[in-house]
Structure formats: C-alpha cells, structure tokens
Structure 1
Amino acid sequence: RHGRDVLASTVLQRCHMKELGKGCRFCGIELSLKARETIEMKTPEVLAEVARAARKYGDATHVTLTTGKFRDDREEIRVMSEVASKIRESSKMPVHVQITPPENLELLEELECDTVGIHVESFDPEVLRKFAPGKFEMRGRMMKALERASEIFGESQVSTFILLGLGEDTERTLEGCRNVLQLGIIPYPVPFRPIAGTEMESYPPPSPEYTEKMFTRIAELMKDCGLNPRRNLAGCVRCGGCSAIEEYLLEV
C-alpha cells in the first residue's frame, strides 16, 4: 500500500541508465534489491493477484506501476502494458504506468493503461546535466513523448514529476510547467528528499519558504490553464501523497 488508497509497485527493480553510468544520482531504485528485500522483476500474474486481493480485502482503488529503464524500449512498453492489463482485468482498478520515453513515439500507442507518467525531473538542463545525465541526453525526446502521450490519453491523464530544490532556475522551471500545462499535461512538483544509500543522501532538501513559493506559483499556472489534478484517474497525481499541489490549488 502507498498513500491513502493506492497500490504501488516497481515492476523492474533495475535501471539500464545506471548500467550505462548515466543514472539519476538521487534515485534509489536498486537499493531494496541489493538489500534482498525484493526481486528483480515481478510477473504480471503475481501483481494481478496482489491487486485483486488489495481491492477485495483492502482499501485500494487505483494502482501505480513504476520501473527502471529497460534495455529495449519495445520490451518496456510490452511488459508494462501486460502487467497493467492483467491488473485491470483482475481488480477492475484503473492503472497508472510510469515509463521512460521510447525513441519510437509510435510505441506509446501500444501502451495499455489509464494514465501515464513520463518524468522530466527538472526543466533546467543544468540540473539534469549534473544530477540526471541520462535524462539530460533524452530531454528533447521526453518532451515529444509527453506531448504524444497527452494526445493519446487525454487532458490531465499524463503527468511529469518536477523536483524542487536542486538549484534549478525558477523562471525556467515555471516556463516549463506552463508549457506542459498548455499541452494538457500535469506538472507534479515534489520537494527533493534525500534517500539514504544514494549519491545524494547528504544533499539538503529545499527550504519551506522556497517550496511554498513554487507550489503557489505552479498552482496559479494550473488554475490559469484550467487543469485540475483531481481529474486524473490513477497514480501519483490522484494519490497526492508526495505533493501538496492540490492543497495549494485550493488557496489560489
């Protein structure tokens, strides 16, 4: 269980970007695997059974599926779609899938889920260059994938995480949020929180004052563009556990 009513799981507990030496320095995706607290790859059948039980005996109403980057884009789309399809079939719950942007954008049309997350992490290229070199290299592809995914899944059903507090340029960040909002995409601001065991475990989180300022300004942009996170059907945006953006929307 994750948040109030969402079942969340990571399908592939490894990331090809890390294998290439280009992984996000703040990411802890492989820590639980190294600690032998999970397995490398979960099967569609196992996740579907867990989802069925979570719906029947628990209080889960939607599902979030995350993953590390696969070595092959087509395989990533195929596996995530198969898992999502089996979960929807077994539990009747809507499913959110997070993916890395494929080189061939047509693969997005094969993705079977209700909502999609393609996470930019930062609209400041210098932040990406320093902390997420793999995403720095694919930043152009990410924006194209976000736009295409929004065309396929519809307004407010595609989201992108925006980490706050990594030294990002404020105006560049707000401009990026405005641009994706105009495409019907939800920018999901989250204050950076260091994870023990990662390269950035000692990096400080942002101040409350900075976080409040950015949440307020991003909420104002959302209101101006007419996008509401509450319309999102499944996943991180619907959960709201990692971001206060919905609360700030009530104040602007």
Structure 2
Amino acid sequence: MDKQRIITELQSHGLRLVEEVGASGRRGGAGPSDHKAVTVDGTTVMVPIFTDTAAQSPYTATLSTTEQVMLECAGEAIAPIEFPKQPKFYSLTTADGIPYWKIALLHSHDVLATTVLQTCMRYRDPATACQFCAIEKSLDADRTIARKTPAQLAEVAEAAVRLDGVKHMVMTTGTPNTSDRGAAYLTECARAIKARVDLPIQAQCEPPDDFAWFARMKAAGIDSLGMHLEAVDPDVRARIMPGKATVPVEIYLEAFTAAVEVFGWGQVSTYLLAGLGDSLETLTSMCDRLIDLGVYPFVVPFVPITNTPLAQQPAPSSDFMFALYQHVGDRLRRSGMASADIKAGCAKCGACSALSTFESKSSECTSTNRYDAAALHV
C-alpha cells in the first residue's frame, strides 16, 4: 500500500492505539481536535485517535519486539511510524504562572498554533453554533485560557523557535461580536510576536466587514491569511453552521479576491471539510473556482469530535477523499500552486490532510473515471 493511500485511510478511519505509545493526543479545542501527530515515511500527519470511528479502525499501532512503533492494518504490519516528542517549551511557564502549553501548542512537528480568543459569539447558542465545533471544550476543561495576550504569545513563540525549531505559526480565533471579526486582535498579536521573533505567521478569521483590515494585518507582520468556508452548498451550510451561513459564499469570494491582492497569489487559503454533506462535484467545482482566484483550497476530511452535535456523523470514506485529492492535487499542479510555497499556516503544514502528497503527482486517472461519482456523496 502506498503512502498516499495509507495517509488517506488513516485520516478517514483513524488509528486505534492498542498500547499507549508516544505522546498524548489532544481532546477538544479548535483545529485538529481528538487527534495525534503521526509520522509515516517522513510525512507527519494528524490522525484521529479519540473518536468513535477510531475505536473501530482497522489501523492499529503496537510496539514490535524491537520497540519500534509499527502500524498494522487488520493485523498485518504495514509500516513503521513515529510520534513526535513533547516539545521542550511545554515545560515552561509565564511569569504569572501560566504553562506555555495553555497559550500555544505544537501541531505536527514544527508548527506553533494558538487560538487567541477561545470564545466565539456563535458557540453557546444552538441556533448559530457550528455543529462540528469544539472551540470552548478545552477552555471548560482548563486546558487553555480564554484570551492570550500579545505579550504572552510573543514570549511563547520566541521559546518555541529557540528550543524546538518551530518554523511557522498559526493564529486563529473564535469570532467576537465586532465588525472586524477578530482581525483587529490578530493584528495586535502579530505585531507583538514579530517584534520579538522572526517567525512567519498565518492569521485565520471570518471575513471582516471592512476589507481594509487585510492591509493592516499584512503591515503588522501577518504573512498569509485563512478564511474558512468549511462547507459550500447553501443547504449544508444552513444546517451545519447556521450562524456562519448568514455570511454568503459570495461574500467569502469577494473577501478572497481582496485578500489575494494584499497577501499575494497562493498566500490565502480556506478549509473545506469533506463529509459535511457537500457532493464531490460541489467540492471540486468550488476548489477550481478558488484556485482561479489565487486561493489554496485546503480540503480536509471531517472528523467527528466527541461531545459535539456531529459526534455521530460518519467521516467521509477514503475513496471519496482519494477522488477529491486526485482532482484538487492535479488542479493545483497545473496551476503551479503548492503548499510548500505558502509562507505559513495550516495548508503549508498539511498535516490534517493528504492533499500535499497529491500536488506533484500527475495522474491520468481523474476522480470521475476512477470512482462512481454519483456514489461519492457524503
């Protein structure tokens, strides 16, 4: 089985840990929740381990007689894997006694990630909350703090670079009830970080009402921008993310166009979560449109998170994801857009998706002739 297929299936099925090996995974919060970083043949990816799906996965990790961690599928040894070690900066605390790991976390093996505001105006109201979101779960469990100050973020970023060789940083935010949608605070935080350490930064937020914020964010030291659609079809958006759905896709497309003018072609990205209900055709059509605008479409398999309304929603099949990756990867390759060229962010890291492994692989077998496209609705 090739690496592309292994990674694609691991992220759809999850990984069942037969023994406690490696560092602990992460439960709840923003970003790759209920996941663990796993390195497969030199590629580090985030794999679900704390989900109901993972508990039934044919993929398991056990210790071999040589103490090497071995990935198995249905009892057959597939490949040796590794788990990144706990970073050194986790052992430090701020002057006021807050552990660094409550301020920012290591994602994959060289990415520092933080949610600068761990609350969201949509989260507490079922009529507006994104059904897949767990942003305040880690706050409720006392694994983070509600608001990370610019000074705290700068302190932790400097240590992560110095002690653990972190290469870039992701700053996301819950959506505050302000017209800038968090852009103002992200700008303030980025300015403080860049004054302390030379570290590429991606900021992530909903489109601000005033697109002039893009230039302000860039001037503060933000190198790339993420604005996440998650879902595309209007009915799916209204059902899964009713609050965010009040901001139409067309507004996102206008914001993408304005942001590309500021950050540059390929330096703006968006998450698309496959498995929420969008068809293969809907997703591939939107990805084509985004690439034409100069936006990197970071397609990621939806992972049901424990204690959320979609906890029982099945993850997309690996065949669906493989077909989607083939199409988008080929389209990216033909456009000359690549995750490696992004200055910072989730798409550059790539650990939550197998997409980057498809970017440079030319395939004559497209998603529509390898699989029955009509059957690939999730």
Shared fold per TM-score greater than 0.5 = yes
Tell me the amino acid that sits aligned with residue 260 of structure 2.
S
- Per the alignment, residue 285 of structure 2 pairs with 175
Contact 1:48 1:86 in 2 (8 A): yes
**Which structure is higher in RCO with an 8 Å CA cutoff and minimum separation 6?**
1
Match of 1:234 among 328, 341, 344: 344
Q: Does 1:67 align with 2:177?
A: no
Q: Deviations over 1:87-135 (max 9, x none)?
A: 1221200101001111222222221300000001122222111101122
Q: After the TM superposition, which residues 191-206 of structure 1 pair with which residues of structure 2 at under 5 Å, given as runs?
A: 191-206=301-316
Structure 1: distance between partners of 2:230 and 2:244: 8
- Per the alignment, residue 116 of structure 1 pairs with 225
Q: After the TM superposition, which residues 48-197 of structure 1 pair with which residues of structure 2 at under 5 Å, given as runs?
A: 48-74=154-180, 76-111=182-217, 112=220, 113-139=222-248, 140-197=250-307
- Per the alignment, residue 121 of structure 2 pairs with 16
Structure 2: distance between partners of 1:212 and 1:123: 19
- Per the alignment, residue 54 of structure 2 pairs with none
Call closer, same or farther: CA 1:218–1:250 in 2, change over 3 Å: same
Q: Which has the larger radius of gyration?
A: 2
* Identical pairs, percent: 35
Contact 2:275 2:315 in 1 (8 A): yes
Large movers: runs of 4+ above 4 Å: none
Tell me the amino acid that sits aligned with residue 174 of structure 1.
T
RMSD between superposed Cα atoms in Å: 1.3
Structure 2: distance between partners of 1:86 and 1:104: 23
Alignment gaps of 5+ in structure 1: none
Tell me the amino acid that sits aligned with residue 135 of structure 2.
I
Structure 1: distance between partners of 2:334 and 2:261: 21
How many pairs are equivalent? 252
Q: Deviations over 1:47-92 (max 9, x none)?
A: 1000000111112011000111011133722210111121122120
Alignment gaps of 5+ in structure 2: 1-105, 363-378
Structure 2: distance between partners of 1:98 and 1:47: 16
Structure 2: distance between partners of 1:224 and 1:74: 35
Q: What's the TM-score once normalised by structure 1's chain length? A: 0.96
Would you tell me which structure has more helix in proportion to its own residues?
A: 1
Q: Does 1:33 align with 2:139?
A: yes
Q: Deviations over 1:7-53 (max 9, x none)?
A: 10110001112245312100110101111221111100001000000
Tell me the amino acid that sits aligned with residue 68 of structure 1.
G
Contact 1:10 1:65 in 2 (8 A): yes
Bigger shift: 75-84 or 158-167?
75-84
Contact 2:175 2:181 in 1 (8 A): no
SS of 1:133's partner is coil
Tell me the amino acid that sits aligned with residue 180 of structure 2.
R
Structure 2: distance between partners of 1:251 and 1:168: 25
Contact 1:4 1:239 in 2 (8 A): no
